[in-house]
Amino acid sequence: MNTQWGSCQATSQSCLIDGFNTSDPAPSDPPNVCEQGSVSPFYIDVQCASDVQNAFAFSKKTGVPLVVKNTGHDYKGRSSTPGSLALWTHNLQSLSYNASFVPAGCPASHAKPGVTMGAGSIITNIVAFAEANNITLVTGAETTVGASGGWVMGGGHGALSNTLGLGVDRVLEFKIVTPTGRFLTANECQNSDLFWALRGGGGGTFGVVLESTTLASPKMTLQVAFAAFSRTNTNATRGFYEVVVDNSVRWAEQGFGGYIEPFQALYVTPKLNSSEAAATMQPLFDYVSALAPNDTGVQILSVELPSYGAFFTNFIAGSGAPVGENAVVASRLIPAANFADAAGRAALVAALLQTLAHASFDLSLLATTPYNVPDAGSARTSVTPAWRGAVWHAIAEGGWDGAAPVDAERAAYNGTSGAADYLRAITPDAAYQNEADVHEPNHEVSFWGSNYARLLQIKKKYDPENVLTCWHCVGYDPQSPRFSCYV
Ligand SMILES: Cc1cc2nc3c(=O)[nH]c(=O)nc-3n(C[C@H](O)[C@H](O)[C@H](O)COP(=O)(O)OP(=O)(O)OC[C@H]3O[C@@H](n4cnc5c(N)ncnc54)[C@H](O)[C@@H]3O)c2cc1C
């Protein structure tokens, strides 16, 4: 997805593709060369637990490094390793719904509606499956992200997370092969320490997940609000940010989740009726409507939809991310405290404008935090507790085109990280591990906060030889040769 992780950035070995037409072989035709880069030269197309058990035994005998790859969407290169054997879980695509799923080993009183999905299931299929079964599942915004792999183990946010929680809040059970070769079921009644670690400790760390079961909610009516102006109308961005910052805590309390770009905001809530939703969004609509005389790109919409599937199809699915770009992100969780008083809000708007000015691609403000879903004392999940009080997950994005000298690549990482520094300066140390700065300072605190020490203990219990190690993962070993391609 992000081609720098197919390249070996440190040596510039790559096999470039054209992001606009990925079938076009021209970018890697002579005189260009197509090199292996960081893409694993061998893959196991995982079908069952014994495939994974045999791979762990093989790696132990030969020393060949293993890497787990699902969709290959990872922003931090955690699913590609030079010279490795890849365990590819993409073809584990099964989906089933059980209206009274009981986690194995739990009493019948634990029954809840659940969808069991193979590790390779992707979001677009899950949304369609939920729609067909009259249920609601929390998903991320990109159709092709793997919902049962890295997305969920790293946290998993989506437009409904405000009221329904993160992906990790909703998991009922994992089936996993651990690096010592054990095929385990992890839920709240057995292997509960591993279950907790898998709910936020990150992918590629504790074993290879074959399937997960997630809580299904009833189908729900949603109120959607959308406002946009021309992307080129950058003079309007400050005022737009001011309106959004002034109102965001109220909207979060009212169940709104959504996505804010410098020129548009898309919000959705299951908690209000249509007139309540339109009324509370009025400040946003007023601001954007007032731009209309001079801006032909103005759009305002307030609509009721019958389901999350309808919302996803109409507002999310069409905006799919480009494949084959060299994208670099750096992110920050923005707590409610930053919105509490006028001085804080002014400082936040100033920091957003600075971040936007310094991020070479974009700044996205994601109202996808579990604002109304507590997890006191991190009893259920191991993501950083900072997710709970956060209003936004803000992502600065930069990158470069095609092949670039190593120095230019390093500059893109530094530049995007520097853009996020404006937000770092005014927020506590917390970021989303799946969409974080590759060189996140103090990453253990930032991704897991007070949960890191316990995660490390569990890592040592289930993977005592650190067979599965990935960049800035729990138990990360910076000296490992598998990181030789990072710049
Ligand atoms: C365009 C785009 C949009 C995104 N939108 C969202 C969003 O809306 N919400 C959100 O929360 N995140 C989003 N993400 C981030 C996403 O959560 C991460 O990229 C995540 O790592 C993807 O997981 P994957 O399994 O699909 O990818 P992969 O790159 O295949 O894997 C990611 C990590 O998980 C591990 N892993 C994968 N499968 C398994 C398995 N079966 N067992 C054990 N470990 C495994 C890998 O080893 C690697 O460490 C987005 C990413 C992109 C590129």
Q: Is the CB of 321 under 6 A from ligand 1?
A: yes
Ligand 1 pocket test: pick from 47, 67, 73 the residue with the most ligand atoms within 8 Å of its Cβ: 73
Query: Is residue 320 pLDDT above 80, yes or no?
Result: no
**Residue owning the nearest CA to atom 51 of ligand 1:** 73
Ligand 1 pocket test: pick from 2, 38, 68 the residue with the most ligand atoms within 8 Å of its Cβ: 68
**Residue owning the nearest CA to atom 43 of ligand 1:** 208
> What domains lie within the chain, and their CATH numbers?
3-90+452-483 (no CATH), 95-218 (3.30.465.10), 222-306 (3.30.70.100)
Q: Is the CB of 154 under 6 A from ligand 1?
A: yes
Q: How far apart are CA 31 and CA 484, in angstroms?
A: 26
Residue 42, pLDDT score: 97
Residue 462 pLDDT level (bands cut at 50, 70, 90): very high
Q: How far apart are CA 247 and CA 274, in angstroms?
A: 18
Q: Strand 326-335 to strand 390-400: parallel, antiparallel, or no bridges (unpaired)?
A: antiparallel
Residue 82, pLDDT score: 95
Encoded tokens for 42: 């061998």
The alpha carbon of 32 and the centre of ligand 1 are apart by a number of angstroms equal to 30
Amino acid at 371: Y
Taking the CB of residue 483, how many other CB atoms lie within 10 A of it?
18
Q: Is the peptide bond before 385 cis (omega within 30 degrees of 0)?
A: no
Ligand 1 pocket test: pick from 43, 45, 139, 142 the residue with the most ligand atoms within 8 Å of its Cβ: 142
Please provide the DSSP assignment of 238-261 as one string. HHHHHHHHHHHHHHHHTT-EEEEE
Q: Which atom of ligand 1 is nearest to the CA of 68?
A: 47
**Residue 173: its H or E element:** strand 171-177
Report the pLDDT averaged over residues 39-55: 97
Query: Is residue 404 pLDDT above 90, yes or no?
Result: no
What's the chain's average pLDDT? 96
Query: Is residue 378 pLDDT above 70, yes or no?
Result: yes
Q: How far apart are CA 228 and CA 379, in angstroms?
A: 40
Cβ contact 191:240 at 8 Å: no
The alpha carbon of 138 and the centre of ligand 1 are apart by a number of angstroms equal to 15
Q: Is the CB of 203 under 6 A from ligand 1?
A: yes
